[in-house]
């Protein structure tokens, strides 16, 4: 069975000069609008209109490859993790750097809570430390701090297992679970439960952490090198608990996003899976490979291959569905981001 979505030309977003390492959509904000941020080895993360791919701005200031970039739920601030031993927080309206969070090694992973208007941030990387920063405490070194006007709960109360670490720009941070990670942290995902954070590390372990106890509540060992670890868009269906999608080795692991460590499904493939994303509303799984330049679309329930999307000229390191599930983006070694239509009806620039 071929995909029932007619083939259309993807939108190609140019502007980066090196491999695109990560891309991430915001939630839907005013009037069905959403945004896309891309991280790149050219040091310059870019903000785009998520529907059209139109360039909005470039965040200038990193001195090394940017490994991951994310937008807050309301898309008002962005955060980037880079090889220059820093994470930065940006105002998406002005492009101003609000905070520079200094680290002792390469920062590979960054995450906001999925609750609205976050004032906390998680980072991880080659230090093998999961750190939680409270952006309301201290003034960042790149400009004034953001004010706390959102509904997110405050940081969990520090327990006796550790005291605050003063870090870059005097923003207070806490380390969660010192000494537990056996390799570089490659991805961090904040769960629907504000107190639970998931990490994926080069020691091939997925860990779910309780921020109150600062200990892992669950650990899962995967069979290969972890390529991506992402929570699918929660805006597709308001009551959808979400799926944590992990690409590792030649498999994709789908975990329950509410119950830590509960494996819903493991799908095996004949190639190294570098990235993966799911849309549980349409029942689609999209993968990018480390071995070729194609994005493959599968039936989420039967694993049947429905489509092969060709157009990139390098491996696809990141795949992400838009919050409405109507399109998905791919970020490649070839330095481009492509947006692919994932719905039957006319949409965006495909009208």
Per-residue pLDDT, 119: 85
- What average pLDDT does range 284-310 have in this prediction? 96
Per-residue pLDDT, 139: 46
What is the biggest distance separating any 2 CA atoms in the chain, rounded to whole angstroms?
58
Per-residue pLDDT, 172: 85
**Residue of 79, 71, 5 whose CA lies nearest to 36:** 71
Going from the C-alpha of 27 to that of each of 51, 161, 290, the distances in angstroms are 12, 34, 28
Q: Return d(Cα 39, Cα 43) in angstroms, integer.
A: 8
Q: 53-106 pLDDT, tens per residue?
A: 999 999 999 999 999 999 998 899 999 999 999 999 999 999 999 999 999 999
Tokens of 151: 């509904």
pLDDT of 155 strictly over 60: no
Query: 227 pLDDT band (50/70/90 cuts)?
Result: very high
- What average pLDDT does range 129-134 have in this prediction? 95
φ, ψ dihedrals at 146, nearest 5°: -85, 150
pLDDT of 4 strictly over 50: yes
Q: How much of the chain exceeds pLDDT 90, in percent? A: 76
Tokens of 334: 């070839």
Q: 7-23 pLDDT, tens per residue?
A: 789 999 999 999 999 99
DSSP assignments along 229-271, one per residue: EEEPPTTSSTT---EEEEEETTEEEEEESSSTT-EEEEEE-SS
pLDDT of 137 strictly over 80: no
**3-class DSSP assignment, residue 22:** strand
**Residue of 342, 298, 334 whose CA lies nearest to 318:** 334
**3-class DSSP assignment, residue 193:** coil
pLDDT of 234 strictly over 80: no
Q: 265-276 pLDDT, tens per residue?
A: 999 999 999 999
Q: How many residues does the chain have?
A: 351
Q: 166 has which bridge partners?
A: 172
Per-residue pLDDT, 169: 55
- What average pLDDT does range 197-203 have in this prediction? 97
Per-residue pLDDT, 170: 64
Q: Which pairing describes strands 171-176 and 185-190: parallel, antiparallel, or unpaired?
A: unpaired
Query: 221 pLDDT band (50/70/90 cuts)?
Result: very high
**Residue of 70, 78, 83, 130 whose CA lies nearest to 320:** 70
pLDDT of 165 strictly over 60: no
> Burial, 14: exposed, middle or buried (Cβ in 10 Å; 0-12, 13-18, 19+)?
exposed
- What average pLDDT does range 347-351 have in this prediction? 91
pLDDT of 141 strictly over 50: no
Per-residue pLDDT, 150: 33
Mean of pLDDT over the chain: 88
Query: 146 pLDDT band (50/70/90 cuts)?
Result: very low
CA dihedral of 200, 201, 205, 209, whole degrees rounded to 10? -60
pLDDT of 1 strictly over 80: no
Q: Which pairing describes strands 273-279 and 263-268: parallel, antiparallel, or unpaired?
A: unpaired
Sign of CA dihedral 144, 146, 147, 153: negative
Per-residue pLDDT, 29: 87
Q: Return d(Cα 306, Cα 296) in angstroms, integer.
A: 8
**Residue of 240, 245, 270 whose CA lies nearest to 255:** 245
> Burial, 308: exposed, middle or buried (Cβ in 10 Å; 0-12, 13-18, 19+)?
exposed
Domains and CATH numbers, the chain: 1-32+224-351 (2.130.10.10), 59-221 (2.130.10.10)
């Amino acid at each position: 069975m071929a995909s029932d979505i007619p083939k259309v030309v993807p939108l190609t977003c140019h502007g980066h000069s090196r491999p695109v390492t990560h891309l991430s959509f915001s939630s839907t904000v005013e009037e069905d609008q959403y945004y896309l941020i891309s991280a790149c080895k050219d040091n310059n993360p870019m903000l785009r209109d998520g529907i059209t791919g139109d360039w909005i701005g470039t965040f200038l200031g990193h001195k090394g490859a940017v490994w991951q970039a994310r937008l807050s739920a309301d898309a008002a601030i962005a955060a980037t993790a880079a090889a220059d031993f820093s994470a930065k927080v940006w105002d998406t309206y002005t492009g101003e750097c609000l905070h520079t969070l200094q680290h002792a090694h390469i920062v590979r992973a960054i995450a906001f809570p999925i609750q609205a208007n976050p004032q906390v941030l998680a980072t991880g990387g080659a230090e093998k430390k999961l750190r939680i920063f409270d952006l309301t405490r201290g003034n960042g070194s790149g400009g004034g701090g953001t004010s706390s006007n959102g509904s997110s709960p405050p940081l969990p109360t520090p327990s006796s297992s550790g005291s605050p670490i003063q870090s870059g720009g005097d923003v207070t941070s806490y380390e969660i679970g010192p000494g537990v990670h056996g390799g570089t942290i490659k991805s961090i995902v904040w769960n629907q439960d504000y107190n639970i954070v998931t990490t994926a590390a080069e020691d091939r372990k997925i860990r779910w952490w309780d921020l109150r106890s600062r200990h892992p509540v669950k650990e899962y060992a995967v069979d290969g090198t972890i390529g991506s670890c992402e929570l699918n868009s929660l805006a597709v269906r308001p009551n959808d608990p979400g799926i944590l999608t992990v690409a590792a080795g030649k498999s994709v692991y789908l975990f329950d996003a509410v119950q830590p460590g509960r494996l819903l499904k493991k799908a095996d493939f004949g190639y190294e899976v570098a990235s993966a994303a799911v849309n549980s509303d349409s029942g689609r799984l999209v993968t990018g490979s480390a071995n070729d330049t194609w994005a493959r679309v599968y039936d989420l329930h039967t694993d049947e291959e429905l489509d092969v999307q060709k157009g990139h000229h390098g491996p696809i390191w990141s795949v992400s569905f838009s919050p409405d599930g109507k399109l998905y983006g791919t970020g490649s070694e070839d330095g481009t981001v492509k947006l692919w239509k994932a719905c039957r009806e006319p949409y965006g620039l495909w009208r």
